[in-house]
Structure 1
């Protein structure tokens, strides 16, 4: 390749690098990574670990008046080794939900730390107000929102059994990676209940500042919930 062609290739590669947070062209010193790249890798790894083992800030929950219930997760180590523990509420948690929440709401909003407490701290303040505005714009009524500590996606079914909402949306922290530890997902299901399959759910994922913008995600979720209720289905059967 001539010099001009080589320069064009290098320029194109630099343009590609601007379009992705992936590690490209990190370089090396002999057989080892550059010191700055190794330090960045260790920093990103530490942030991911902190996101998994961290706790959602009380202020983030208090801002929206969210009360807290727990799953049978016990502790983080048990939770990571036994995913099923995050899909079922404790008996006390179930009683608290029944006591404090509206029964058979049109839309039930639930927040959970999941695998990234940082995702809730960083995104909830933008996602939830946008979601509420979108619900109002789409003529949908919200039930009593709350926070589930130690939740997995399947906890939607246990909550659905208790409250029987027409639709439920779970805002939950995603498994952190080395690109971001702040990614949130919004899982939605029409009439969730035990026995629901993954194909019955739908998701808006990668919600964070470098992915799907939180405010945009909140608006989109409301529109999807309206379509779910209109069509009385969710997941792969929904026509979007």
Structure 2
């Protein structure tokens, strides 16, 4: 998709890229219910909530349910991540966004990263969508490529930039481009973390993002053409 094409996305078309997200530590069931209702009004692809908020109550309509796993540090034992993922699927999650242990990449152990992802994949088999959060802002380019290769080898469906909780920052256009180059059209790329306006959202799509993680969805969509 070219920049010209992306800027022509209508508000409703852009909304279909969005995982409408609420991962605050003090989020309540009432706020999750409100998130679902807002997602239906905005027409987003999904909502993304913490595993403890599952199952999501209420009529979901066309809204998919996503959750996180090993969030936000990724420092959980792979077996624990697998159990968390399996329970989330049993409680209605259709998509799992898991966090890798980025220290393993930095130690040159992409094999352990792959094994971590493989355990979650086995616990949440297709058609569940598995997205792998690599914390791209905390990685070198070589580490980003290694994380993408490990994710693809392990059977993931997406690679995702960020949790939004790491001090190194969130998504960047450069990271999204590199991730897209690394996975080609074989996997999706989700840009998440720090996307707060329409212009940034369009830049991420231009760079190769096929999904966006947004907490301020209404504000971002508000900048889109009708």
Q: State the TM-score, normalized to the length of structure 1.
A: 0.29
Instruction: Answer with 1 or 2: which has the greater Rg.
Output: 1
